[in-house]
């Protein structure tokens, strides 16, 4: 699919009859739904579809397209009662330079070091600067996918971060020290956890003010409602709001200075589509994202053609999807151009589909009072040299190839300049035009820096994507016991078919999703492997409050990070009548301390499953059909209830007599680590089932299911619905 430029003389730079090249200096209006070239002479309806792009003569149709859609824009803005006052506010103008944004999981080990118990903002930012030029803003994400494992709501989870609110505030200050703005998340679907007693808008604005955050990301919002803006101004803490806009921002365009969007199928076409929101309001910053994309060249072509930003999202809910070397280098160069000429990138007179001269090459112009910038993308799978662009020319104008850091000697004829430059296959270009005597400060140094980048062509860099390898954390064997320890049951040696899959909401079946067991080449969601399991002993029930109290009394154990440690105890002891209930609000570090004291260890996940399932592959400990009486009743209220006694449901016993495997509390098993993330395989599910959204931490009652729980620090990892049981080697 290529565009037909047969009506123009590429060598001479002549324009087709009746075509007027875009003016570089004129006076002064995501998502990815494309504005395609219409049939000549017809005003297009909105939206309308591609009319056969392999036939389109883009240069000859571009001006009629722009004229038609300027009419549409005026009408659409009139229907909205559009007012641009939010884009003229000095306290919010930083959003117009917020070109590279990153959604960051707090569980990322580059952000927080769980061993040193420190936030490591510099390490996180240094890595991004080295690979793709750094970020202008960051979203500190501490909610999904763990929310819903218990009743802590989205605001409470911020208080559970290491150091609490003071720790979060310091992390924000560390980002500010490096010139990075900070967003916090809010989500309208969180109405199944603890009721804070406040509106969403008041809760998040108050939190943002507490920690001095700069903006709020509206997860699943097609437009953050106006009441958020009003609350932000009333509390004298101006914030930039960034909804997950889709194409439905509508009147929210007036008070949402930013948005973030996702790919659409039109982006994969040869002719790049125009961003609807950028066309309506060029100062509205869109941070485009493609979280699961392995090859991002179409994404980067799309943003560069439209002059919009990128959401450089790599840690996707604990799954590491790193930029390839080529894509990282491309973003680094794009961001450098954006940051050097930020006023031009939000030009009110930007014009897509500038007059290009070669098939499959597309450009947009961003004019200013003294200079103009054209971004260029080569949608071909081959290199292109020679004449690329024709623009209106004024005497004394100088031209520069920004991508390669070189001056351009223009061929001037009849008031137009034809510009020649080299484009790599699937590559990029950028041209700067500067009026005589108006050379911008720092241009020479910038050209030198870009020339340095250009010495390494993008096509020489790797485009291969590889999943991040994962390691299963070792569990030391216990001293072998020749007899059954008290409170435990013997589990005989067996050949066991270990079949399990993750219930994570996102990630699908992509490589890197889920866990990587030692016999596997990478992390994945679905697992099947035959294991020879040695004999062992397992606790008949989960460890109870009474048993954990014995550990505390014997060792005086108290964790360094004690936030929420044994939160439901009173005065250092279980509540009256709770002695036989499973202990909860204990971290992985806490339970390992108990195991060491007791001469036991945590079960490997396959040991836990074998003890619950036997060798017949049953779905539940008692058989293949769900039996409501075998587990505690489901709790669908907004608050967790205390777990049931560990022996309250004897009909739920496994083939070996092991009790309380499913439906009372989640149970700790294995930990997995990669360079960026720690996570734990949780088994059994709990009775708590947060309602109002499918985004909450999903249950996993079946014995061929496990939950993936992201780990950050004990203060955040402890849960009122998570306990454990132990094993001993035989």
> For residue range 458-467, what is the model confidence (pLDDT) as tens digits?
999 999 999 9
The residue among 350, 351, 283, 367 whose CA lies nearest residue 85 is: 283
Superfamily of domain 85-340: Glycosidases (3.20.20.80)
CA 45/CA 28 separation, integer angstroms: 25
Which of the 8 DSSP states describes residue 358? S
The residue among 677, 636, 689, 716 whose CA lies nearest residue 157 is: 716
Peptide bond into 145 cis (omega under 30): yes
CA 523/CA 510 separation, integer angstroms: 9
CA 645/CA 579 separation, integer angstroms: 8
Question: What is the dotted CATH code of the domain comprising 471-729?
Answer: 3.90.1580.10
CA 150/CA 227 separation, integer angstroms: 29
The residue among 196, 198, 254, 258 whose CA lies nearest residue 231 is: 198
Beta strand residue intervals within 435-479, DSSP E: 471-472
Sign of CA dihedral 119, 121, 127, 131: positive
Domain coordinates in residue numbering, the chain: 1-23+348-440, 85-340, 471-729
**Exposed / middle / buried, residue 223 (Cβ in 10 Å: 0-12, 13-18, 19+):** buried
| pTM greater than the 0.75 cutoff | yes
436-473 in b/e form (b: 16+ CB < 10 A) is eeeebeebeebbeebeebbeeebeeeeeebebbebebe
User: Quick check: 235 and 227 in contact, CB under 8 A?
Assistant: no
**Exposed / middle / buried, residue 624 (Cβ in 10 Å: 0-12, 13-18, 19+):** exposed
**Residue 42 CB neighbours (<10 A):** 10
Cα–Cα distance list, 577 to 192, 230, 292, 584 (Å): 28, 49, 49, 15
Which of the 8 DSSP states describes residue 13? T
Kindly report each contact of residues 461-467 with a partner whose C-beta sits within 8 Å and lies 24 or more positions away, as own/partner. 461/324, 461/325, 461/326, 461/329, 462/324, 462/325, 462/326, 463/295, 463/324, 463/325, 463/326, 463/327, 464/324, 465/294, 465/295, 465/321, 465/322, 465/324, 467/320, 467/511, 467/512, 467/522, 467/523
The residue among 434, 425, 357, 350 whose CA lies nearest residue 389 is: 357
Q: How many residues does the chain have?
A: 730
CA 371/CA 437 separation, integer angstroms: 11
All residue ranges of the chain with pLDDT < 70 are 1-57, 246-248, 264-266
Helices (H) and strands (E) in the chain, counts: 16, 31
The pLDDT value given to residue 42: 42
The pLDDT value given to residue 246: 60
Report the CATH architecture of 1-23+348-440: Sandwich (2.60)
CA 272/CA 353 separation, integer angstroms: 9
Residue with tokens 């049953």: 618
Cα–Cα distance list, 312 to 432, 490, 711 (Å): 26, 51, 22
What lies within 8 Å, CB to CB, of 168 at 6+ separation is 140, 158, 161, 211
Residue with tokens 């929310």: 147
Q: Which tokens in the block code for residue 390?
A: 């024709």
CA 715/CA 545 separation, integer angstroms: 19
pLDDT in tens, 522-580: 999 999 999 999 999 999 999 999 999 999 999 999 999 999 999 999 999 999 999 99
Provide the CA 116 distance to its chain's centre, in angstroms.
26
Cα–Cα distance list, 142 to 139, 145, 161, 503, 658 (Å): 9, 9, 8, 20, 35
The pLDDT value given to residue 47: 36
The pLDDT value given to residue 262: 80
**Residue 99 CB neighbours (<10 A):** 25
Ramachandran region, residue 698 (left: φ > 0; alpha: ψ -120 to 50; beta: rest): beta
């Amino acid at each position: 699919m290529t565009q037909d430029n047969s009506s123009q003389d590429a060598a001479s730079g002549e324009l087709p009859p009746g075509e007027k090249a875009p003016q570089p200096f004129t006076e002064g209006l995501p998502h990815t739904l494309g504005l395609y070239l219409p049939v000549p002479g017809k005003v297009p309806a909105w939206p309308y579809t591609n009319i056969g792009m392999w036939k389109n003569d883009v240069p000859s149709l571009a001006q009629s397209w722009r004229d038609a859609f300027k009419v549409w824009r005026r009408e659409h803005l009139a229907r909205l009662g559009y007012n641009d006052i939010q884009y003229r506010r000095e306290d919010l103008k930083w959003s117009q330079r917020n070109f590279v944004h990153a959604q960051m999981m707090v569980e990322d080990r580059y952000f927080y070091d769980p061993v040193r118990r420190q936030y490591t903002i510099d390490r996180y930012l240094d890595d991004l600067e080295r690979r793709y030029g750094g970020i202008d803003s960051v979203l500190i994400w501490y909610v999904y996918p763990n929310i819903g494992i218990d009743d802590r709501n989205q605001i409470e989870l911020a208080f559970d971060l290491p150091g609490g609110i003071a720790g979060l505030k310091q992390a924000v200050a560390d980002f500010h020290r490096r010139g990075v703005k900070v967003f916090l998340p809010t989500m309208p679907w969180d109405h199944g956890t603890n009721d804070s007693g406040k509106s969403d808008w008041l809760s998040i604005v108050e939190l943002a003010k507490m920690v001095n955050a700069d903006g709020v990301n509206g997860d699943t919002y097609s437009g953050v409602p106006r009441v958020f803006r009003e609350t932000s101004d009333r509390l004298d803490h101006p914030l930039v709001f960034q909804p997950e806009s889709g194409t439905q921002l509508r009147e929210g365009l007036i008070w949402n200075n930013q948005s973030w969007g996702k790919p659409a199928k039109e982006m994969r076409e040869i002719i790049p589509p125009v961003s609807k929101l950028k066309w309506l309001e060029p100062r509205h910053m869109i941070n485009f994202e493609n979280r699961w994309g392995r090859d991002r060249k179409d994404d980067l072509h799309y943003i560069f053609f439209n002059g919009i930003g990128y959401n450089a999202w790599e840690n996707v809910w604990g799954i590491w999807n790193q930029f390839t070397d080529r894509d990282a280098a491309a973003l680094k160069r794009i961001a450098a151009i954006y940051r050097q000429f930020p006023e031009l990138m939000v030009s009110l007179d930007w014009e897509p589909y500038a007059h290009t001269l070669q098939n499959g090459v597309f450009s947009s112009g961003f004019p200013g009072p003294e200079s103009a910038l054209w971004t260029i993308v080569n949608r071909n799978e081959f290199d292109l040299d020679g004449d690329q662009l024709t623009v209106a020319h004024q005497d004394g104008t100088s031209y520069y190839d920004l991508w390669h850091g070189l001056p351009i000697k223009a061929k001037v004829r009849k008031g137009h300049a034809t510009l020649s430059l080299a484009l790599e296959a699937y590559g990029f270009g950028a041209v700067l035009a500067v009026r005589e005597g108006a050379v911008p400060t720092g241009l020479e140094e910038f050209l030198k820096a870009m020339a340095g980048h250009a010495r390494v062509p993008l096509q020489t860099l790797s485009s291969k994507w590889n999943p991040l390898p994962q390691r299963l954390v070792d569990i030391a064997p216990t001293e072998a016991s020749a007899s059954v320890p008290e409170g435990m049951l013997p589990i005989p040696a067996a050949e066991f078919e270990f079949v399990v899959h993750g219930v994570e909401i996102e990630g699908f079946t992509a490589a890197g999703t889920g866990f990587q067991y030692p016999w596997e080449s990478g992390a994945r969601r679905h697992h099947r492997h035959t294991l020879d399991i040695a004999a062992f002993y397992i606790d008949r029930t989960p460890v109870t409050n009474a048993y954990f109290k014995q550990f505390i009394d014997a060792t005086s154990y108290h964790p360094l990070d004690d936030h929420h440690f044994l939160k439901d105890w009173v005065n250092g002891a279980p509540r009256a009548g709770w002695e036989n209930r499973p202990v909860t609000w204990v971290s992985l570090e806490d339970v390992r301390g108990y195991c060491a004291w007791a001469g036991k260890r945590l079960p490997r996940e396959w040991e836990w499953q074998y003890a619950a399932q036997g060798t017949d592959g049953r779905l539940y400990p008692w058989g293949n059909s769900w039996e409501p009486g075998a587990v505690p009743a489901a709790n669908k209220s907004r608050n967790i209830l205390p777990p049931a006694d560990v022996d309250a449901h004897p009909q739920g016993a496994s083939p070996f007599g092991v009790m309380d495997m499913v439906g009372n509390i989640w149970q700790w098993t294995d930990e997995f680590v990669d360079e960026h993330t720690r996570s734990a395989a949780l088994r059994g599910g709990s009775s708590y089932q947060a309602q109002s959204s499918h985004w909450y931490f999903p249950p996993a009652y079946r014995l061929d299911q496990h939950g993936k729980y992201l780990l950050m620090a004990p203060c955040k990892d402890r849960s009122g619905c998570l306990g454990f049981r132990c094993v001993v080697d035989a």
